[in-house]
Amino acid sequence: MVLACQNVSKSYGAKEILNKVNFQIEAKEKIAISGINGAGKSTLLKIITGEEDADSGNITIAKDVTIGYLAQHQEIFYDKTIKEEMLTAKQDVINLSEQLRALEKAIETLSGDELNDALDRYARMNHTFELQDGYAYESQITGVLKGLGFDESEFDKPIKSLSGGQKTRVSLGRLLLSRPDIILLDEPTNHLDLNSITWLEGYLKNYDGAVIIVSHDRYFLDKIVTKVVEIENTQSTVYHGNYSYYATKREEVRMSKYRAYMNQQAEIKHQEAVIDKLKQFNREKSIKRAESREKMLDKIERLDKPQAVRDEIRLTLTPDIESGNDVLLVDNLAKSYDNKQLFSNVHIDIKKGERVALIGDNGTGKTTILKIINQLTPKDEGRITLGSQVHIGYYDQEHQVLHPDKTIFDELHNSYPDLTNTKIRNLLAAFLFTGDDVFKVIKDLSGGERGRVSLAKLMLSNANFLILDEPTNHLDITSKEILENALSNYTGTVFYVSHDRFFVNKTATRVLELNANGITSYLGNYDAYVEEKAKLGITNTGNNLFTGTPSNKSDSEGKKDWQRSKEEQAKERKRQNDIKKIENRIEELETQIAEIDDEMALPENATNSAKLNELSTKQIKLSNELETLYDNWEQLSEQ
């Protein structure tokens, strides 16, 4: 064990973020911290690094273990070049190298015991230098920078001239080169292109230390981690496996909790009904039975209602107008900026019903192509043709058309006044806005929440051709899954840019790869794209991730299920009939017993011992039968 998180709790004012979070990590283990936005993932990383204090609990770190942390926003030295910043991670090795060079010069002037001592010292220092890969640090810096997408011509660029994404990559490179025992990464794939992400996957998977990752890149997590710590409702649950295993198991656990809650609710309602019925019988023994059941019901530990099982949400969106079969034709498209060719010879042919993903390295012009299609950016050459009855709905996070002072509900209702309140609420629920959430004001929403509102609004439009630019940016994993479900059920045509491989894998029916010389088309999802490239000997992307889909039940199993269902229905009908017969008989017996009570109270029978004995014997017989019927009724009611 190199790190243990023990009962860690954290609150900000009255808002509880973490409550007794527990997990541990072994040497060389790779784990993910998962949870929705705001669950406390980044807070937990800061507590581990000591940037923040826990309210209670402990972080235990093994002796001499070093920790390196990449936050989402890094502070780096802007007066350095990229290469100089990387060298700071190897300063110990550089210092040792300088000491060795100085000692080499000193040895030339020494003799006798001084020489022997110096040679011994040199041997020890050189051994340490070799253990720290001192002779390879220059090549390591080159390898890491190239892996993260920097060309050698950029190594001497000043950091202050870089974009925010490039600065983050510099920070990541410096952290990797420092080689701590535990690496903590908060959204490390932001600002990386696919090749860099794939390189980082391989680096971390083979890293000779422990890694803790917070990331919304599910494909990335699947390739690296072997354990997932989920933070939900302030508490932690540990799942042993990769992301796909966690996602499947999480839904099983949630469904199990949901079923347990629903079963308990059904049992409570059933017991209340039995109690009411026993009281209606209005006999001393039935009332005692009812009171006994009430005491048992009071002792039941009530389960809290779990979060709604999101897989129950199914969103089907059908455009009002169907397009023709030919939706988009792009022929020989080209674009340059400042005399630099961005792309040329781009040909795209999209048919009705396709979901086409456009992928490629950063800077190849993917977003520019979408803007040209939407007439937001002029083309240099080429032709763009839209098919018959094609209506475009465009999603660009930089130009979201939302009214800041409106509520979420009004934003949709005012745009689509013919829609019923129920339909609007159902759509917003599918994008995780439920209850009073729909009355939040747009300007008070987070970037991810605004993205979800924009997507929901777009889904309601009359568009039959959705063009989406990085639709999963700033969405948490839950929101991504909702969007995947919505697009998979969408009956129109979709063309989108995304670097989210898991999202592409779930939604795409075709993948287009863009480079400077044009576009290559691959039929199928992201895995099919990877497989086809592997066949062609191109291995700069990941390996296959998924191994197929569950097969449907066989015909014979289906018939057995149907037969079992019919048998269960027949048993239930018989049980209800038996209960009804018993209840009718109970009413008859109670009436007869009441009549005997009245008869025994008559003056003419009060002194007739023979008659009283006869009535008493009859009453005892009826009471015994009634007691048996109570038992039978309760047994049948419990089944």
- Whether 407 shows a pLDDT value over 50: the answer reads yes
pLDDT of residue 73: 59
- Sign of the dihedral defined by the CA atoms of residues 56, 61, 66, 70, in that order: negative
Strands of the sheet containing 67-70, edge to edge, are 67-70, 182-186, 210-214, 30-34, 227-232, 235-240
Question: Tell me: the pLDDT tens digits for 5-64?
Answer: 999 999 999 999 999 999 999 999 999 999 887 889 999 999 999 999 999 999 999 999
Provide the mean pLDDT of the chain.
Answer: 85
pLDDT of residue 552: 41
Structure tokens at 516: 């400077």
- 563 is a domain residue: no
240: left (phi over 0), alpha (psi -120 to 50) or beta: beta
One domain for residues 296 and 407: no
- Whether 418 shows a pLDDT value over 60: the answer reads yes
One domain for residues 293 and 339: no
Distance CA 344, CA 515 (A): 9
- Whether 67 shows a pLDDT value over 90: the answer reads yes
Buried b (16+ CB within 10 A) or exposed e, 600-610: eeeeeeeeeee
One domain for residues 336 and 279: no
Q: Dump the DSSP string for 426-440.
A: HHHHHTT--GGGGG-
Question: Tell me: the pLDDT tens digits for 423-454?
Answer: 888 888 877 788 889 999 998 887 778 878 88
State the pTM of this model. 0.66
One domain for residues 619 and 481: no
| Contacts made by residues 398-406, CB under 8 angstroms, sequence distance 24+ | 400/450, 400/451, 400/454, 401/454, 402/442, 402/450, 402/453, 402/454, 402/457, 403/442, 404/441, 404/442, 404/443, 405/441, 405/442, 405/443, 406/441, 406/442
| 304 confidence band (pLDDT: 50, 70, 90) | confident
Specify the number of domains making up the chain.
4
pLDDT of residue 398: 62
One domain for residues 296 and 440: no
| 547 confidence band (pLDDT: 50, 70, 90) | very low
Residues contacting residue 354 through CB under 8 Å, at least 6 positions apart: 327, 493, 494, 495, 509, 510
One domain for residues 302 and 363: no
Share of the chain above pLDDT 90, in %: 39
Residues forming a β-bridge with 349? 329
A 10 A CB-CB count for 187 gives 17
C-alpha dist (Å) from residue 391 to 381, 453, 544: 24, 20, 36
Question: Tell me: the pLDDT tens digits for 106-135?
Answer: 888 888 888 899 899 999 999 998 888 888
pLDDT of residue 72: 65
Structure tokens at 199: 């390189």
Distance CA 570, CA 39 (A): 48
Residue 122: name the closest of 102, 137, 138 by CA. 102
Distance CA 623, CA 70 (A): 79
Burial class for 375, CB neighbours closer than 10 Å (0-12, 13-18, 19+): exposed
One domain for residues 161 and 280: no
Question: Tell me: the pLDDT tens digits for 74-111?
Answer: 565 668 899 998 998 888 899 998 999 999 998 888 88
Phi–psi pair at 58, nearest 5 degrees:
-135, 145
Distance CA 123, CA 103 (A): 11
**What are the respective helix, strand and coil percentages of the chain, to the nearest 5?**
50, 20, 30
Q: Which amino acid is at 498?
A: S
Phi–psi pair at 509, nearest 5 degrees:
-105, -10
Distance CA 169, CA 166 (A): 5
Of residues 483 and 566, the one with the higher pLDDT is: 483
- 379 is a domain residue: yes
Domain end point (choices 157, 177, 197): 177
Phi–psi pair at 300, nearest 5 degrees:
-65, 130
Tell me the mean pLDDT in the region 287-307: 84
pLDDT of residue 273: 85
Domain end point (choices 520, 535, 550): 535
- 294 is a domain residue: yes
Of residues 339 and 69, the one with the higher pLDDT is: 69
- 616 is a domain residue: yes
Residue 374: name the closest of 529, 497, 491 by CA. 497
- 372 is a domain residue: yes
Strands 210-214 and 182-186: parallel
Of residues 459 and 186, the one with the higher pLDDT is: 186
- 429 is a domain residue: yes
Q: Which domain holds residue 303?
A: 258-312
Question: Tell me: the pLDDT tens digits for 607-616?
Answer: 788 888 888 8
Q: Which of 109-113, 318-322, 572-576 has the highest mean pLDDT?
A: 109-113
- 543 is a domain residue: no
Of residues 489 and 51, the one with the higher pLDDT is: 51
One domain for residues 357 and 488: yes
- 105 is a domain residue: yes
- Whether 545 shows a pLDDT value over 50: the answer reads no
One domain for residues 335 and 283: no
Domain end point (choices 116, 149, 177): 177
- Whether 543 shows a pLDDT value over 50: the answer reads no
pLDDT of residue 542: 39
- Whether 551 shows a pLDDT value over 50: the answer reads no
Buried b (16+ CB within 10 A) or exposed e, 26-43: eeebbbbbbbbbebbbbb
Share of the chain above pLDDT 70, in %: 91
DSSP H helices, 300-399, are: 366-373
Q: Which amino acid is at 374?
A: N
One domain for residues 350 and 486: yes
Distance CA 73, CA 626 (A): 77
| 155 confidence band (pLDDT: 50, 70, 90) | very high
Distance CA 330, CA 347 (A): 5
pLDDT of residue 533: 86
Structure tokens at 366: 């993917």
Structure tokens at 216: 């919304």
One domain for residues 478 and 607: no
Give the CATH number for residue 156.
3.40.50.300
Residues forming a β-bridge with 514? 519
| 560 confidence band (pLDDT: 50, 70, 90) | low
Identify the helix (H) or strand (E) that includes residue 22: strand 15-25
One domain for residues 303 and 161: no
